Copies of this chain bind each other. A is one copy, B any other.
Amino acid sequence: MKERACIELIMDEVRDYMVESYRRRMSFAAQTKEHPNDLLTEADIEVQKRVVSVISRHFPKDLIVAEESGLNGNPEAVPSRCWTIDPIDGTQNFLRGIFPVFGLSLAFLEQGKGSAGCVFLPVTGDRFLAERGKGASWNGKRLAVTRAASLELSRVEIDFQGPKYRSTTLTRVESLLKQAGQLRAYGCGVVGFCHVATGEGELYVNLGLDPWETAVGQLLVEEAGGRVSRLDGSDLLPFDGRSGVIASNGIIHDQVVEMCSEE
């Protein structure tokens, strides 16, 4: 089985469970992780277990790096073949919110670079797929970023993070907050990347993303013709131990890097 086929199989495999979990989300006892705004539910764990199970069955030798329970460290050396999983990116939105803005984020990486992956929004059924060199798609339709050149007319998505990191975030994005056209915060990393890749938005900025959240997002945006980098404009590599990402349509990228770089 090819990696792409495995990714599609996984979406089919987890869909019913994710939809059904969302329907009974009021009954979930959320545990807190590092701080009270960092939540974990049994659904995160169960979805991860199912995804890991499918990957292990088809690619038993591949390394798996995932958000929940023990699989979430950066590997010591960059692995030749590796999968990153965020079972429910947007757990807060999974638990609360009128719109189901959360999804499975899954990527297959070769030599530390995203090679194939998906973002799957189970409730709406939206499937975002990307393969290095073969483009990105949304429910089968080929994606391309916008050609918008003005930040003042751009739709910008920002992740404000929890209160612990909020002040740092606000300082770094201060100029951007003032100049962005439409400002949105949907609170789900992969949806932020998808907004740029689909051309529904021009920019996504997040100061604290982990590899399992950036790998597929980066691939989607790059394959749609956009650009992804660290806040200072340097290359984003999922396992470099750094955080912070700017994903854009490419055209407004340098302007945003200048705004978000540290003084």
Contact = CB atoms under 8 A, between A and B. Distances in A.
Interface in A132-191: 152-153, 155, 160, 162-163, 166-167, 170, 177-187, 191
Given A98-B126, A163-B152, A182 B191 contact: no
A119 B178 CA distance: 30
Interface stretch (A5-13, A52-60, A192-200, A252-260): A192-200
A101 interface: yes
Nearest to A166: B178
Residue of A160, A180, A191 most packed against chain B (CB within 10 A) = A160
Nearest to A194: B98
Contact of A153 (B36, B124, B184, B185): B36
A23 interface: no
Number of copies: 2
Nearest to A146: B96
A7 B203 CA distance: 38
A37 interface: yes
A238 interface: no
A16 B180 CA distance: 34
B198 A98 contact: yes
B153 A97 contact: no
Contact of A92 (B36, B96, B101, B155): B155
Contacts of A191: 98
Given A96-B200, A99-B101, A181 B162 contact: yes
Contacts of A126: 98
Contact of A97 (B96, B97, B200): B200
A195 B163 contact: no
A163 B179 contact: yes
Interface string A92-125: 1000111101000000000000000000010010
A97 B195 contact: yes
A162 B179 CA distance: 9
Given A98-B191, A98-B200, A195-B98, A177 B170 contact: yes
A217 interface: no
A178 B177 CA distance: 14
A184 B187 contact: yes
A211 interface: no
Contacts of A92: 155, 182
A201 interface: yes
A184 B186 contact: yes
Closest 6 CB pairs of A and B: A160-B183, A185-B185, A99-B99, A96-B200, A184-B185, A97-B200
